[in-house]
Structure 1
Amino acid sequence: MVLRSCWKSRHKNNCGPAPRWIRSGLAALFWLCVTQLDFGCGAVRETKNVVQKDAEFDVTYNDTVTSENQTIYAFNHTISRNKGVRVSVDVLSQGLESPTLFVVRQKQAVLSFQVPLILRGLYQRKYPYNHVGRTLCQPPTRAASETQYFFVDVSTLSSTGTNYQLRVSRVESFTLQTDKKFSFTASPSQPQYFKYVFPDGVDTVIVKVNSDMTFPCSVMSVQDIQCPVYDLDNNVAFIGMYQTMTKKGAITVQRKDFPSNSFYVVVVVKTEDEACGGPLRFYPLRPDELIDAGNRTKVLDVIVTPAINCKSVYVMGMLFCLGIFLSFYLLTLLVAYCPSNEMKAFSLFHHDLFLPSLLPSERSLESVGRSRQESLSSVEEDDYDTLDDINSDKNIVRTKKFLYVSDLSRKDKRVLSKKYQIYFWNIATIAVFYALPVVQLVITYQTVVNVTGNQDICFYNFLCAHPLGALSAFNNILSNLGYVMLGLLFLLIVLKRDIVHNRALVRNELSALECGIPKHFGLFYAMGTALMMEGLLSACYHVCPNYTNFQFDTSFMYMIAGLCMLKLYQKRHPDINASAYTAYACLAAVIFFSVLGVVFGKGNTVFWIIFSVIHILSTLLLSTQLYYMGRWRLDSGVLRRMVYIVYTDCIRQCSGPMYIDRMVLLVMGNIVNWSLAAYGLIERPNDFASYLLAIAICNLLLYFAFYIIMKLRSGERIQCLALVCILFTAVVWGFALYFFFQGLSTWQKTPAESREHNRDCIVLSFFDDHDIWHFLSSIAMFGSFLVLLTMDDDLDTVQRDKIFVF
């Protein structure tokens, strides 16, 4: 009577507020059903014709359901831990306005779905599926098997009737076996999932899902054994760990994360391919328009393999890493205590092997010895900037056709030492303020990955990612230890040389005061610190490598390249090298453009035009500054001076360049940089940070090759230690670049496409190709630093007024 009264009042006053006596107990529940649910009070009032049938497995039931009848299929089922149950439904008649509802009632779970099943894609586009297959959740049982009933209810609101087919079958291969591959098919409306139980003695496994088909895009998920199982495109990301995939997918699973010692491996095919880098489908013309999804069936296979989980493998990996780099400490000690006379006996070239006849004859005429007082005269411009004759003296000295180191080492060595020591203190300050927020950010990234389970946030090599604690890929972090250890070793080597040189100065040794390349160690200290910071920031980047934090891995690479070029230039131009503030300001501008390029550079024509113009103009300005040895100024009269030079040197008389060697270097440098600028403008590479790093490396290699060639042309020799460092470093760089270009992952593509490049570990079942790149590149950088440190040791007994500037 209450329900009938409600039904009558609902048509009169739209079911107004319920009386107080209805708001409690069971009556309130009925009132909620009548007033809130979409079945309508009339549906509650009317009595359906309910038919219950005893059903059997592996039998296809063809039936019709209308709004007047409801069919219940009763199954007597023996639940087994190793087998599953799958319900397949196919609706033969279209009923989009009144879909057919299927409800599977189990002892501890209820699964319901409608057919046609409407799945939504990007921009809420709708895709209907008439064929649906779902695996039933398997409630945990204490016994190995247990007999239960479960029911499949079929109903609809369609008055015309809907034809359907129902089939319930057992899944014999429901439980996955270790190291046994299992193949299956899946689609958006027919997801698949399987159960895996950790065997005794195995605490960590890698779940690998593979397919020969790139598309359709799919999602693999690892979920705890519980009901319901989230196995549709619109809910698979609700719990557990998940990742998109095209051909490859892999998730490392640890026993400690699953109290039941088992988990589900769920594979879902997405309704659209945009998440995997596929084409974007057309936008529907009407908001309610249904789109034909087409054939999106995908053939896949799954295999679960044990991962390394014993502590001994982690310990071996750490000892291997430490052993490699501690051996460099031992080798350094052996070389340091090797008798110096024996080392000097092994030199590549005799001092007179390359005769000055390879040089213009005027160079010998200009080679006039300087007195000790003149070579040590202090003309520090900060002390005499009010005297005009100081600038005149600089113009006379620095614009000579042939220069010697004594011409460009006239400033007080104490002032220069302080100037170059600022490089170290500045980079140390930069490192602290740069590293602290980076560490905080990557910890946040790792926390988000662990909490949400979204494996698409970080671009790991999932086939060789060994977790430790909260870290997902400990091996990629550990392999960066070499940068830190070898950077520290280089600092110790530089410190030893610094101490020895200072002691020589205290003793007023002639070789320290007047001979060799002036010893300034500030840039070397900065290089060693930058190498250590590269290791720290690379480790931070590999905590969660992705699109937004790649600049952490490259920022100090720019600094290392810049500092190496500055050190090469400082060797022969100690008086006119850039100050630390200017140098770091330029490097900051490079990093700024790196960030802009990562954010805005992809396909942005305006950005690439602006960057290419700035690149070319910067190259021209720097070339002019280097050609005129710092005596050129950018001011209001620069255009007038340029026109005058062109008129006098090119029009009035066709004279060649005064400084041929410098001109050759700068012309080659401009050709290389203009070519790189043109390449960037035409190709517009997606990885702007690597493109910018390639520019820095090309310029460094060009200048280094020029330095070596000019050193040999000048009749100088390369000692044995420096030669060994050069050859060793070149070989190591070659192998390092080989492993770098293996490309195990890339954030330039989608996470699913990146996983196509994933490969297994290659060393100790712990380190992958990229880890080997870390090992070799840290060694190669250390060797490069040693080359810069030792390549001019042959000049330690040569007076500075006989050492050429180039």
Structure 2
Amino acid sequence: MASLCLLLLLLWAPGGSLVIAEKDIQQIKAVFDKEYKQYVNSELQYIYTFNHTLLRNKTEGVRVSVNMLSDQKVTPLLVVVRQKEAVLSFQAPLTLRGLYQRNYLYKDVGRTLCQPPTKAESVTQYFYVDVSTLSEKNTTYRLSVTHLDNFVLWTEERFTFNATPSQPQYFKYVFKEGVDSVIVKVSSPMAFPCSVISIQDIQCPVYDLDNNVAFIGMYQTMTKKAAITVQRKDFASGSFYVVVVVKSEDEACGGGLPYYPLNPDTPMDHGTREKTLEVLISPAIGKETYIGGILFCFGVFMSFYLLALFIPCWEKWRKGRKDAGLLNSVGSINDETASLLGKSSSQKYDGCGYGSLAEHSSVVSPEDCTDSLVSSGDASYSYTERPLDNFVSRPRLESLSSVEEDDYDTLTDIESDKNVIRTKKFLSVADLARKDKRVMRKKYQIYFWNIFTIAVFYSLPVVQLVITYQTVVNVTGNQDICYYNFLCAHPLGSLSAFNNILSNLGYVLLGLLFLIIVLQRELSHNRGRMFNRDHLEECGIPKHFGLFYAMGTALMMEGLLSACYHVCPNYTNFQFDTSFMYMIAGLCMLKLYQKRHPDINASAYSAYACLAIVIFFSVLGVVFGKGNMVFWIIFSVIHILFTMLLSTQLYYMGRWRLDSGIFRRILQVLYTDCVRQCSPPMYVDRMVLLVMGNIVNWSLAAYGLIFRPNDFASYLLAIGICNLLLYFAFYIIMKLRSGERLLPVPLLCIACTSVVWAFALYFFFQGLSTWQKTPAESREHNRDCILLGFFDDHDIWHFLSSIAMFGSFLVLLCLDDDLDCVQRDKIYVF
């Protein structure tokens, strides 16, 4: 642009020789804060000479403002400011290009001059403002050069100013001694016009126009709020510029595009898009706050390890005090127990309920255990209130000394045998726990090994991708890529929001603790089988721990993938945060079902295949689901069909066929049961659950089809959670209805977990950011930290939800401990 001004003085002669045009150049010794109203044309040019004194310990801003009074669009006014170390040029009216090559004109143009630092105590600087035009007509303008009294920003002092697309503003900030990082907060009472906040190093030129503000430094689009954390180590001079640019269009901030003429070559006068803004610079947190937040996070979750260690020790100490007084009575009761189970009196039962939190016993006390065993022979016992005439008892093994007797499955694969047993009106756990224990153990261990394999192959590309995201943010400075809560995003190293990553530690630590507890229960159970094998194979819910291991692994992976998502949260990687939530919900439902249906539960391959389909639809919903009616129709139809197929599978215990005759059989059942005799359903309990489940799922499908929520991943997760809660509530109700009881430990876990879930959901719905909107609109929801000056509402959600999930897992782990001493042919299936 500087060379352009020199070319304005040169004309090519018709003969090809270069001649200097005759032009009247007027030089004026100008002063600050005075308005100069002149006119120029192709033969008249003005040069204004200014001088001012620069002090090393004082920074002053200088601003040049030009207002074009004539209506000239084809031949604009050219303004060149020549300084000692920089040249600034612009035109009036200023033409800025927007989206789709739209051009906008602004007659009032104002620019701040770059002020390079000086090493001398004081120096007088001269600069020149050249005003010219190529128009043959007179072009009238108004020029003024002023000092900026508030060019330097101070810590914790608010400063209010106005900006337009043609009159950007920037200010200087100098780090104080001992301050390593600050947070630049910019706010505005008006959402539009859209603006851009940029942090740039002290250098010339300063990029302060809409078409170049993203060239260097860090920047954010803004409606009402913006916040950028700036670290001293990124600026060698110990200072930086805060640049504020108002955009010509609001599309980047979620606003609509203005009306534009049909002819794209016609510039549009955009008037004044003035925005009032306020800037506040506050010191960021120091090392002490980082250390305090880390110690707090570890302290909260390590306390659960101490509690898990304390409970078995306390239980062992409590039981040790009672052993002396109960030794004789327990011995006599065990003799009677052994006789009831078909054992000799020499085979004493040394306690019950193996596989508990305690070292040698479950939460069921010996007294409760023996009472249950004695009472189980009484006709008045609550577990035998239902008729048991059609129960098929499991053949009792006379001896366990022969290995061959354990090498076959007591339930053959003959279809008629399965039909006889599984289609009874009242089923007991003994009917559905007839397969070989070693076979079933391997079947459920596959859940753990499969999810471990899935976790490894899923997490490696996720980690690579989020590292790439973070690198792009750090290199380009574009902070619109990631949807942080910028008012409480504390960087550490290359990570922009370390606190959001740290708060996911609870999922990993509590998931690991749950695996340790499950391992301890399994070892205790296996140790108990060495002494009371016959008892453990005849009483209680069958102990299969593979699904529990899978649940603990899924909880740990949820923490890892949630941390990866929060490295750079946005709509393209949100499925990282939800994939293992689907896994957890599915595994919990499978575990509930497996408790009463151990032989007919889904295999690991089919279960994970269904979960893979769910994740596949989650990805499709994120990509294509926003407002796409065709997608929502297809998904709703598939959702309803899958619900009906699963309902049929559960109602008939898998004893049905999906073939060409399915519709004929449906009509036959409807005619027989509803038309001819109008008989009630054979399996009333199952029918109640499935009717309620279909009502819930059909309602959710209708909601999705009508409202088409933008956050499809959360909608899909809500479907899974609603079904899990419905099944869990049904399980608890049927457990109490069957005469069973909730022991104090699971009852306490349910109560505490419910309270924690309630608080966790409260913090989850605070909505500190949302990738369903533009980055600028998302920042309107940003809030300051609320815990230790380090954690925000979403971090508290991470804390509480990890604790709530851990508590929920414990509920499933010890929910049926009251049945450890009850014979399986008296434990009902529901």
TM-score normalized by the length of structure 2: 0.89
Aligned to 1:334: 310
Residues 1:510 and 2:512 are matched in the alignment: no
For residue 792 of structure 1, what is the amino acid of its counterpart?
D
* 1:441-500 per-position Cα deviation (integer Å, ceiling 9, x unaligned): 000000000000000000000001111000000000000000000000000000011111
In the aligned structure 1, how far is the partner of 2:512 from the partner of 2:711?
A: 31
Equivalent position SS for 2:236 = coil
Residue type of the alignment partner of 2:435 = K
**Counterparts of 1:69 and 1:279, CA distance in 2:** 43
SS in 1 for 2:110: strand
Contact 2:384 2:826 in 1 (8 A): no
Indicate conservation of the 8 Å contact 2:410/2:436, yes or no: no
1:659 to 683, 690, 695: 683
Q: Secondary structure at the match of 2:300?
A: helix
1:773 to partner: Cα distance? 0.4
Q: Distance in 2 between matches of 1:363 and 1:383?
A: 23
Relative to 1, partners in 2 of residues 1:280 and 1:348: Cα closer, same or farther, differing over 3 Å? farther
Superposed, 1:212-611 pairs within 5 Å as: 212-309=189-286, 311-339=287-315, 343-344=363-364, 363-366=387-390, 370-373=394-397, 385=413, 390-611=414-635
CA contact (8 A) 1:178 1:304 kept: yes
Among 22, 26, 48, which residue is 1:47 paired with? 22
The CA deviation at 1:344 is: 3.5
How far apart, in 2, do the equivalents of 1:382 and 1:273 lie?
Answer: 72
CA distance in 1, matches of 2:310, 2:774: 49
Kept after mapping to 1: 8 A contact 2:159/2:280: yes
1:678 corresponds to which letter in structure 2?
A
The residue type paired with residue 277 of structure 1 is G
- Checking the alignment, whether the CA contact within 8 Å between 2:581 and 2:717 is kept in structure 1 is yes
Counterpart residue identity of residue 46, structure 1: A
What letter corresponds to residue 12 of structure 2 in structure 1?
C
- Describe the shift of the 1:477–1:144 C-alpha distance in structure 2 as closer, same or farther (beyond 3 A): farther
Q: Is the 8 A contact 1:223 1:266 kept in 2?
A: yes
Q: CA deviation at 1:507?
A: 2.9
Residues 36-45 or 325-334, more deviating: 36-45
Check 1:141–1:34 CA distance in 2 against 1; reply closer, same or farther (3 A cut): closer
1:384, distance to aligned residue in structure 2 (A):
5.3
How far residue 512 of structure 1 moved from its aligned partner, in angstroms, is 1.6
Letter in 2 for 1:794: D
Aligned AA (1:624)? T
1:337: how far off? Answer: 2.2
The answer as to whether partners of 1:498 and 1:521 remain within 8 angstroms in 2 is yes
Q: 1:728 aligns with which of 740, 752, 759?
A: 752
Letter in 1 for 2:222: M
1:75 equivalenced with 2:50 (yes/no): yes
Which of 704, 709, 714 is 2:733 aligned to? Answer: 709
Contact 2:411 2:435 in 1 (8 A): no
Of 109, 120, 126, 2:97 maps to: 120
Structure 2: tracts of 5 or more residues without a match: 320-362
- Per-residue CA deviation, residues 750-791 of structure 1 (Å, 9 max, x unaligned), is 000000000111111111111000000000000000000001
Q: What SS does the corresponding residue of 2:781 show, helix, strand or coil?
A: coil
Of the candidates 654, 659, 680, which is equivalent to residue 704 of structure 2?
680
Q: Take 1:118 and 1:126, find their aligned partners in 2: how far apart are those partners?
A: 6
Structure 1 residues 374 and 159, CA, compared in 2 at 3 Å: closer, same or farther? farther
Q: Would you say the 8 A contact 2:756–2:800 is kept in 1?
A: yes
Structure 1 outlier segments of 4+, above 6 Å: 32-39, 346-353, 355-361, 374-383
Q: Is the 8 A contact 1:348 1:717 kept in 2?
A: no
| Match for residue 671 of structure 2 among 647, 664, 678 | 647
Preserved contact between residue 249 and residue 755 of structure 1 (Cα < 8 Å)? yes
In the other structure, the counterpart of 2:185 is: 208
Mark the CA change 1:655 to 1:178 in structure 2 (over 3 Å): closer, same or farther: same
What secondary structure, in the 3-state scheme, does the structure 2 residue paired with 1:101 have?
strand
Is contact 1:359-1:713 (8 Å) kept?
no
Secondary structure of the structure 2 residue equivalent to 1:128: strand
Q: Quick one: distance in 2 between partners of 1:659 and 1:566?
A: 21
Farther off after superposition, 764-773 or 633-642: 633-642
1:23 match: none
Q: Which amino acid aligns with 1:51?
A: Q
The 2-side partners of 1:34 and 1:569 are apart by 82
- SS for the counterpart of 2:22 is coil
The answer on whether the counterparts of 1:378 and 1:412 sit within 8 Å (CA) in structure 2 is: yes
Distance (whole Å) between structure 2 residues aligned to residue 472 and residue 644 of structure 1: 64
> 1:145 & 1:554 partners in 2: Cα distance?
61
Match of 2:41 in 1: 66
For these two proteins, the number of residue pairs brought into alignment is 770
Name 1:753's counterpart in structure 2: 777
RMSD between aligned alpha carbons? 2.6
Aligned equivalents of 1:95, 1:129: Cα separation in 2: 11
* Amino acid in structure 1 at the alignment position of 2:30: A
- Return the offset for 1:627: 0.2
**Counterpart-to-counterpart distance in 2, 1:291 and 1:86:** 26
Residue 168 (1) aligns with residue 116 (2): no
Contact residue 9 and residue 20 of structure 2 kept, 8 A: no
SS at match of 2:536: helix
1:635 Cα deviation after fit: 2.0
Residue 661 of structure 2, aligned match among 622, 631, 637: 637
**Residues 346, 720 of structure 1: 8 Å contact kept:** no
Structure 2 counterparts to residues 771-782 of structure 1, below 5 A? 771-782=795-806
In structure 1, which of residues 791, 794, 798 is the aligned counterpart of residue 815 of structure 2? 791
From the superposition, tell whether residues 139 and 641 of structure 1 become closer, same or farther in structure 2 (CA, over 3 Å): same
Aligned to 2:720: 696
Are the counterparts in 1 of residues 394 and 431 from structure 2 also a CA contact under 8 Å? Answer: no
Aligned partners of 1:740, 1:143: CA distance in 2, in Å? 56
Q: Is the alpha carbon distance of 1:443 and 1:617 closer, same or farther for their aligned partners in structure 2, counting shifts above 3 Å?
A: same
Residue among 133, 136, 142 paired with 2:119: 142
Give the deviation of 1:504 after TM superposition: 2.0
Amino acid at match of 2:29: D
Alpha-carbon distance between aligned partners in 1 of 2:9 and 2:313, rounded to the nearest angstrom: 89
Give the counterpart letter for 2:156 in structure 1: D
Q: CA separation in 2, counterparts of 1:748 and 1:346? A: 56
Unaligned runs of 5+ in 1: 1-29
| CA spacing shift, 1:227–1:380, aligned 2, 3 Å | farther
Percent sequence identity over matched residues? 72
Structure 1 residues 76 and 348: CA distance shift in structure 2, 3 A: farther
Choose 342-351 or 229-238, whichever is displaced more.
342-351
1:570-612: per-residue Cα shift (whole Å, max 9, x none)?
Answer: 0000000000000000000000000000000000000000000
How far apart are 1:146 and its partner, in Å?
2.4
Residue aligned with 1:52, SS: strand
Deviation (angstroms), 1:40: 5.1
Equivalents in 1 of 2:742, 2:380: separation in Å? 17
Structure 2 CA distance for aligned equivalents of residues 412 and 345 of structure 1: 29
* Distance in 1 between residues matched to 2:786 and 2:4, nearest whole Å: 62
CA distance in 2, matches of 1:315, 1:136: 43
Counterpart Cα distance in 2 of 1:587 and 1:161? 75
